[in-house]
Amino acid sequence: MVPIKTMRALFLSSLLFFTVANGAVEPANADKDSLPQEDQMLDVDTIFRAMGVPYCMRKCIDPFINSTTSLWYMKDVVSQARQVCTLHAQAITCLKNDQFCDHNKIFVKASSSVQYMCATKHVLFERMEKCLNPVVDDVMSICDKQCYSRSNLTAFSQDSNVKFAATVGGNAFIVADHLGPLCSSLQCTLPCVTKKLNSKCALSGWLSLDMLMQPFDAVAVMIDQLSVPLKDLITKKIDKQCRFAVNPTRLNRIRNGDFSAFNMDNL
């Protein structure tokens, strides 16, 4: 059986990877005056340290995370996809070379959306690339303004409790207690991106949704295999805005376009 600590780490990593991958790992020698104000506030390093991500993993994944800056800036997202795929593969290879760094394969599972796009669905994305290229940046920008993904991520990275967790080597409980706004943004972002991409390029929204659901599926399946008392305990400990992410039935409904499954806890 997979340890509870590992499942908790995978859940946090999956959720935070979805949002952190929309940011950039700021170089140590970055010129603060040359960065936009919003990027001065985003502290990805604090987020990773608060999660307790070890240095051996950071040295492997930081170049890949840094390659996703196009998502944060919402510029040339489609054209940057190949570079993202290449650096993701390099990160996986790097971690394999250090077998003791991520033996539970948390990064592999948390970033499975990227692997799914790069290895499994790349042919479909290539067919849609011509249609997607001129519209994706605007869709992401519109959905961000509606869903506050970047502002909520920035606020999370600046939260005093999260910063404290970073200074003590990471604390999953503290991080988990502050995920509500990020889950709220996710509940808004997935339907927004899905519907708007479908309206611009047929079926592209469903393909994107399918890709983005991959890491949550891995967590939900593991939790669903636990005993009922333990599963109930984990569910109760998670912010109600995040509970959809550990429920296979709800995830399947969301994957099939029933976005009301996000809000079952509020009924």
Per residue in 6-56, pLDDT tens?
556 666 666 666 665 554 444 334 444 433 444 447 788 898 899 888 889
Residue 98 host element (H or E)? none
pLDDT for position 30: 42
66's tokens:
């840094």
Top-confidence residue, 151 or 23: 151
pLDDT digits 0-9 by tens, 224-233: 777 788 777 7
Asked if 252 and 230 count as a contact pair (C-beta separation under 8 A), the reply is no
The answer on pLDDT for 260 being more than 50 is: yes
Q: What is the mean pLDDT of the chain?
A: 81
Q: Is 109 helix (H, G, I), strand (E, B) or coil?
A: helix
Give me the pLDDT at residue 39, please. Answer: 45
Higher pLDDT residue, 218 or 37? Answer: 218
Higher pLDDT residue, 122 or 204?
204
Q: What is the Cα Rg of the chain in Å? A: 18
Looking at residue 224, its pLDDT comes to: 76
